[in-house]
Amino acid sequence: MSAPASPPRWDAALRAAGLSTVDDPGGRVVVLSAHPDDEVLGVGAWLAGQVGRPLHLVVATDGEQSHPGSPTVTPDQLRTVRRRELAEALAILGHPQVRTTHLGLRDAALPDDREPLARLLGPLLQDATVVLAPYEHDGHGDHDVLGAVAREVLPERTTFWRYPVWRWTRSTPDTRAEWLRGAALLPRPADGARRKAAALRAFRSQLEPWSDHPADQVVVTPALLEHALTAPEVVLT
């Protein structure tokens, strides 16, 4: 994986911020993502340290609209590819048999599918001790509505952590920013960063161009990739 140009500096700001480590009550974890790869971009190193813990991944869409207008790959093909990539990434992180639920809702249309999302999501969170979801103001419609709906259907006394993905690349590094209120660091194993980088390489459909056509270019931007590879993992509590 080549080093992207012009990396963001959130990594330095977060390391200097003196954030405390998140208070983890233990128990069963449900990790929500809008698309296959969000969970690894956001909390992949932490996931590498959760081997042996009851873990359930819930993926709202298959990310089949990542390349609209592509002359090379169809949405149906992307559904298959992206599920396979996620399984490969999870195996690299040490979770080859992890329980994974694909809701199969429409990519790029979760704001319009809020009702079925809530109906499907509610029962899956009932036995969770900790729920991780995308930050509800991440700046991507699918991420935002998933985070908001997760909060709405969250059982009482369940610990809720929200992880930013795109927000890091759309904000100026400032740990005093209002949106970072309640931020805490996720712990990671000694080899967590290395395993996260290896897991991210599994998402070839998002990191490599399908062809030279403009509609076939990479989706994970250099800035987002750099942040995922270098910065501490942070959740909002």
The domain of 126 spans 10-19+28-236
**pLDDT digit string, tens, across residues 53-85:** 999 999 999 999 999 999 999 999 999 999 999
Q: Is the pLDDT of residue 6 over 70?
A: no
Measured CA to CA, the distance from residue 46 to residue 57 in angstroms comes to 14
**Residue 163 neighbours by CB under 8 Å, 6+ apart:** 42, 43, 132, 133, 134, 135, 233, 234, 235, 236
Proportion of the chain above pLDDT 90, given as a percent: 96
In whole angstroms, how large is the CA radius of gyration of the chain?
Answer: 17
Residue 141 has pLDDT above 60, yes or no: yes
The answer as to whether 129 is a domain residue is yes
156 pLDDT exceeds 90?
A: yes
pLDDT at residue number 5:
42
**C-alpha–C-alpha distance, residues 108 and 53, integer Å:** 32
This prediction has a pTM of 0.95
**pLDDT-based confidence at 8, cuts 50/70/90?**
low
**Domain-located, residue 1:** no
Q: Which residue has the tokens 């319009």?
A: 112
- Tell me the pLDDT of the chain averaged across its residues: 95
CATH label of the domain that carries residue 57: 3.40.50.10320
What is the domain count for the chain?
1
Give the pLDDT mean for 3-17.
73
Whether the predicted pLDDT of 2 surpasses 50: no
**Could you tell me where the beta strands, DSSP code E, fall in 88-163?**
99-105, 130-134, 159-163
The reply to whether 2 falls in a domain is no
Q: Is residue 121 part of a domain?
A: yes
Q: Report yes or no on 5 lying in a domain.
A: no
Number of other CB atoms surrounding residue 180 within 10 Å: 18
Residue 9 pLDDT: 83
Model confidence band, residue 215 (pLDDT cutoffs 50, 70, 90): very high
Is residue 4 a part of any domain in this protein?
Answer: no
pLDDT tens track for 110-138 = 999 999 999 999 999 999 999 999 999 99
- The pLDDT-based confidence of 1 (bands split at 50, 70, 90) is very low
Asked whether residue 3 is domain-assigned, the answer is no
Sheet holding 183-185, edge to edge: 99-105, 55-61, 29-33, 130-134, 159-163, 234-236, 183-185
